[in-house]
Structure 1
């Protein structure tokens, strides 16, 4: 699996020791391999003497050491960097890493800042793209928060991920808009990407009876999507015209998903739709390879879960078995134990995701996407879906204490 290589440079040896001890002592540093230096010469030799194979995914350094490296060619290396700051340095905010803060927060910032290697994929139709639907029989179950965290954790693990939101009332924009616009000029074409793709697919079906083939599949969907660095995934800009979504049929939804799969650009597509029986929800359920089916531990949510399955058995008896075979039932907002029984004895819970009280007062996208406890459990859920729970999404890297001068 992917191990991210990080170079840490600080003249404070005790600070380096505390950082490395914490990263090496538990799962917090999973997937990271640190090389640390406390003197300029060893740091310089390491940065300028390595082959392409050893190029780090991130450099973290105090201002004196960082500026010396940048001025000697580091600024053109393409390697991401963060300045260890005490708050009085003249550098862009997103390039600062406050030196003194809780170590878990430091490591989380490191993971987010690392250059994320995306798997190279040949653009061949139908090649190994896994579609995961996040569904629920109840509104307010936390579908979107779970879907966003899954996209981020899979992106951090090195998978090429697309997050597709098909909710009638999109709830992602308050959390994604900052990441979509930060440091970018307006991109009118990308901001209408999903609308244009839906139109292109519909026109092509009318004219030829089949989905768009030539231009879209040869070039992928790059001209329709945007890269969201905070999410480590590609996304579509949320549709502004709700009528387009309301008019989407089950067939429209299935064709869209199949097209995204057949373009061969992504390892994983996360599908987030409404709770209910609209065409988009049915299209997701019929097309997705697997589901995260969210339930809450309260009597009303359990009842709605049972009612959903009972209705499906009555109106689509040949369909519900396939849905059950592909579903992983997950209790969201879990608090210590599950109090309420599942609505039927043949329904079993596969995983739980914790309740995060601080999300009730969310005012920044970083708060939603950076809970260490929630990230840990979502990572386990992703491993269950991607690898049948046999291994973690990331492998614990060997910590290399390359302490120059120590």
Structure 2
């Protein structure tokens, strides 16, 4: 079970007691743990102690306490907050929590605010294409299923999407083979598209000493449209050696080319879970990550080991990767029973377990689960709206939001 951690600050001790008594006697209170303060110094000391540890999911405070905290580092901490207000303060209505209202309404407001995803930085190297890597510390976590569903939902929402699978052993062909044709006919050129693009990029670098210049044709000669996925894809490589020989630089150059060609709003990157060159290239280049983990003790342990190794051997990449990651429990069943491997981690979303996928026999089954599509759509909206908001703020994109949440 995910327990939300909330800090409540009010100078009225009776008010605090009423909150805590209600929460303890309410079933929803099982999902929330309150830490309450009536003095500003104690509140500030508590927040300083949490730095570098597991931060709270929400701070609710009266104006005098809240403003002091925000002005002294709270604004950049990433912790969501609500002002406990009597209606006289100048504050965004979305951030105002009226102090005197029925306790059930107050608790509902707290639960809603805690569920709002924390905004994370989305790193863009100067382009308008958002690249999203779907990663995991262990195989079998459902990376490909999630990546395919993300591509489909983004395509349905009107985005131009390219799905790129960089797994050593590509698991998509059984699900996508029927759609990897144009007008129902085989196209041999498309079947060698990724291989030819990798070759052209290498030749271009050797001849010019730099990355191949983007041609006017972009990637049209390399990709194939998959109508069921509502996205462009590369036909899976048949020669495993080509993938095994891909270096970190090869991967970075490929992703840069796909980004700079200007044909796509979103790239969905699906790769291996190891430490090879392709994986490191994706970790370098992606603007955001959907980091999948299963709720079992072995998966949590592997997640912790992966992060520990990254922190020890590649500290700069580790910090950047965490900053770009959304941590998502896949195959979720009612509650999370295992402890996360580190106290500074928190879950951003969950995706449901779909029992019928155990007996998959055709691609339509895997791509057409309404429950899974709904939750993936929410996840996509979280990622894409964060990315577009940053691009709008920097003046690099002018788009209307396409998600109705």
TM beyond 0.5: yes
Distance 1:330 1:393, change over 3 A: farther
- Number of residue pairs matched? 270
Poorly superposed stretches of 4+, deviation over 6 Å: 389-392
* Other-structure match for 2:373: 375
Provide the residue aligned with 2:177 in structure 1: 177
Q: CA deviation at 1:214?
A: 4.7
Matched residue, 2:312: 314
**Any unmatched runs of 5+ in structure 2?**
1-124, 390-399
Q: CA deviation at 1:393?
A: 4.9
Structure 1 residues 393 and 375, CA gap change in structure 2 (3 angstroms): farther
Q: Specify the alignment match of 2:60 in structure 1.
A: none
Matching residue of 2:204: 204
Q: Distance in 1 between matches of 2:267 and 2:345?
A: 26
Higher relative contact order (CA 8 A, sep 6+): 1
Q: Say whether the 8 Å CA contact 1:126–1:263 is kept in structure 2.
A: no
3-state DSSP of counterpart to 2:169: coil
Cα displacement string for residues 200-219 of structure 1 (whole angstroms, at most 9, x for unaligned residues): 0011111111122153xx21
Q: Deviation per CA, 1:123-148, whole angstroms, max 9, x where unpaired?
A: xx964100000000010000000000
* Residue 284 (structure 1) aligned to one of 282, 298, 307: 282
CA RMSD of aligned residues (A): 1.8
Shift of 1:242: 0.4
CA contact (8 A) 2:269 2:282 kept: yes
The residue correspondences of 1:5-404 to structure 2 (distance < 5 A) are 127-181=127-181, 183-215=183-215, 218-388=216-386, 393-395=402-404
Q: Which runs of 5+ in 1 are unaligned?
A: 1-124, 397-406
TM-score in terms of structure 2 length = 0.65
Q: Are the counterparts in 1 of residues 169 and 240 from structure 2 also a CA contact under 8 Å?
A: yes
The two structures have a TM-score, normalised by structure 1, of 0.65
Pairwise CA distance, 1:183: 3.9
Shift of 1:317: 1.4
Secondary structure at the aligned position of 1:219 is classed as coil
Distance 1:334 1:152, change over 3 A: same
Could you tell me whether the CA contact under 8 Å between 1:379 and 1:393 is conserved in 2?
no
Q: What secondary structure is seen at the aligned counterpart in 1 of 2:180? A: helix
Q: Shift in Å at residue 179 of structure 1?
A: 1.1
Structure-2 separation of matches of 1:183 and 1:287:
34
